Structure 1
Amino acid sequence: MRRLAGLLVVPLLLLSTAACGDDKASDSASTEKGFPAITAGAKFGEKPTLEKGEGDPPKELKTDVISEGDGVKLKTGDAIQVNYLGQAWDSTKPFDNSFDRKQPFDLTLGAGMVIQGWDKGLVGQKVGSRVELVIPPDLAYGEQGQGDIKPNATLVFVVDIVKATQVPASAEGSEVAQDNIDLPKVGTKTDGKAPTVTIPKSDPPKKLVSNYILESKGEVIKDTDSVVVNYVGLLWKDSKAFDSTYQTGKTQTFPLAQVTLKGLKSGLVGKKIGSRVLLVIPPDQAFGNEAQQSIPAKSTLVFAVDLLAKM
């Protein structure tokens, strides 16, 4: 089963490698030997500039705490929000940064949403910290490279850890009656495992369905929020699952402003964090006449979504 997250949202910012212009250094600040120096914007929250790395890059992941915050330590599975700037070891030109976009980047730590060097290097760091990561190719993009990043490139990142949220194992809340026999029935167990989804043999609805299965008392989701979810997605036609976060045991973070699947975004906005929701998305709010991986053209999609946390 191929993961379809890249079809549901705009490709992850960290992986988009949008080129950024050079920044001229305005002051000098040295870091521990083996780390390119931050030459401007050294404080947490400021856009940094970096010198080129000196000599041969290290062959192992290196992490330097530029300034330590007083927040909680990050754990695998936490939903986190960061600002970052990245460049190659042998360059002074950043290939990507979130500071210019003025929008922190959301991810679930350890979920494979980013290169391994991030997942490994950020665990144990405190919220409010600024860290510098030097990431060897085998924990970055390896022999293939990525966009403007050359094959076998060692990467350097300055990362500001803005926020972290612990993610519960399951949705909770009051069970809502599922009395429409023409809609799928979703299981209500809260053991952290994928809920059962039973799709009827009748024709699918022609309009978007967004119904509570478990309704919590959490905060209402806005279209500007980023939400951490577990979900299983199935085809109405044959009840075949085409995607599931439960198979990998890793949640997914959806910045709703970047969600490209119209029915997914519309169906989640207005729902409450902590709830389980059934979505039935007709083709005109899904992928329409275009087939996508294991999803045939003109497919009605069914999702059971646990809305675990909001960033």
Structure 2
Amino acid sequence: MRRRSLLIAVPAGLVTLAGCGDDSSDSSKADASPSASAASAAPPPKIVEGPLPAITAGTKFGTKPTVAKGSGDPSKNLAVRTVIAGGGQTVAENDFIQADYLGQIWSTAKVFDNSYDRGTPLLLQLAQGSIIDGWRYGLAGKKVGSRVLMAVPPTWGYGTQGNAQAGIKGTDTLVFVVDLLAAFNAKSSAKGKPVAQNDAALPKVGTNTDGKAPAIDIPKTAAPGKLVSAYVLEGDGEAVKESEAILCQFRGMVWETGKEFESTYAQGRLSQFSIQQMQQVVKGLAQGVTGKKVGSRVLVVVPPSLGYGDKPPSGGAIKKGSTLVFSVDILAKM
């Protein structure tokens, strides 16, 4: 099983489809968690520039760093320094970030976690209760492409209880090196290359990349009886595996009526879902995004047999036998 990050405060809830009820059992999140209540109850920290230990090796962005042991007593404030300034998107609170990182203990230089060795960047939201507050406050305002060095006291880390799984005591100040690889928010879109949509029997999906909901033009013909999954914009990222989860924008409509039943654009927030968990909700959607590349917009047409069949959610636009039409922007995977 893929090892999970120690940084998450609590598992992030999955944005669900068509009133199916929240599912907070996202297996891509950490079991080991700091006390969100203790950290979040504290007032915002004063952010200072030091003291901070030196990065002695692996000094280039994206390479695994080696960090010296802390010298003397750490600050009781949150120490943050941009050691490599990026020129990308400015990160704001509640954005999702994709980052590589290394974390170690100030007093011993013991590394308790790093993503470089796993070969899988961390994908998380800079939101209260979703990440330790040292990250939430320390990374807000930084730009994608930056390397940020931080020393996080217990108040904005794991609190007085520490984290026994990671060998962190309640008195330990933590040192992090964070490489900000990407950032996403409610205005994010896929940035792939447009792919011709020549089949008149299928919906046409807009190719705008301005963060607004793409138009979905459903033909006034019978819906296809089989699952359809086709690129609208083809990205150049890695293909999504069945064992992974994705971060996405999506819009869902009913073929027969043209009514929208759910949209992240309308909700003003991104969606995270595990492919395996989505198999239990809308099997056709899970199958439709599996194998597609990160950075893509995908048209997925789900027949009733792979959707809700004769058991649709109550009170919504989806009825018995409805064919579902999705436009899905695959922003990142984890």
Q: Normalising by the residue count of structure 2, what TM-score does the alignment of the two structures yield?
A: 0.54
CA–CA separation in structure 2 for the residues paired with 1:52 and 1:170: 47
> Which amino acid in the other structure matches residue 28 of structure 2?
V
Q: Which residue of 2 aligns with 1:3?
A: 13
Q: What secondary structure does 1:83 align onto?
A: strand
1:30-69 Cα deviation digits (max 9, x unpaired): xx75001112212212211112222222222221111112
Q: How far does the alpha carbon of each residue in 1:284-303 deviate from its partner, in whole angstroms, 9 at most, with x for none? A: xxxxxxxxxxxxxxxxxxx9
The one-character-per-residue Cα deviations of 1:4-27 (angstroms, maximum 9, x if unpaired) are 6652332249969xxxxxxxxxxx
Distance 1:14 1:161, change over 3 A: farther
Flag the 1:8–1:226 CA change in 2: closer, same or farther, 3 A: closer
Aligned partners of 1:227 and 1:308 also within 8 Å: no
Alignment of 1:73-88 (within 5 A): 73-88=90-105
Equivalent pairs: percent with the same residue?
36
Partner of residue 214 from structure 2, selected from 155, 165, 172: 172
Tell me the equivalent position of 2:75: 58
Matched, 1:153 2:163: no
The residue matched to 1:95 in structure 2 has which SS? strand
* Counterpart for residue 125 of structure 1: 142
Change (3 A) 1:228 1:176: farther
**How many residues were matched structurally?**
235
List aligned pairs for 1:90-109, cutoff 5 A: 90-109=107-126
Q: Against the structure 1 CA distance between its residues 165 and 84, is the aligned structure 2 distance closer, same or farther, given a 3 Å change threshold?
A: same
Aligned counterpart in structure 2 of residue 69 of structure 1, from 86, 104, 125: 86
Q: Residue deviations 1:163-187, cap 9 Å, x none? A: 234536764331558999xxxxxxx
Q: Is the 8 A contact 1:14 1:96 kept in 2?
A: no
Is contact 1:226–1:310 with CA below 8 Å preserved after alignment? no
For the Cα contact (< 8 Å) 1:210–1:278, is it kept in 2?
yes
Query: What is the one-letter code of the residue matched to 1:153?
Result: D
Which residue in the other structure is 1:269 paired with?
A: 290
Secondary structure of the 1:143 match is helix
The one-letter code matched in structure 1 to 2:232 is K
Mapped contact 2:101–2:179 kept (Cα < 8 A): yes
Partner secondary structure for residue 246 of structure 2: strand
Q: Distance in 1 between matches of 2:28 and 2:146?
A: 27
2:207 corresponding residue in structure 1: none
Question: Is it true that 1:217 corresponds to 2:235 in the alignment?
Answer: no
Question: Residue 151 of structure 1 aligns to which amino acid in structure 2?
Answer: G
Residue type of the partner of 1:261? Answer: Q
Aligned alpha-carbon RMSD (Å): 4.5
Amino acid paired to 1:118: W
CA contact (8 A) 2:94 2:127 kept: yes
- Once the two structures are superposed, what CA deviation does each residue of 1:177-201 show, in whole Å capped at 9, x if it has no partner? 8999xxxxxxxxxxxxxxxxxxxxx
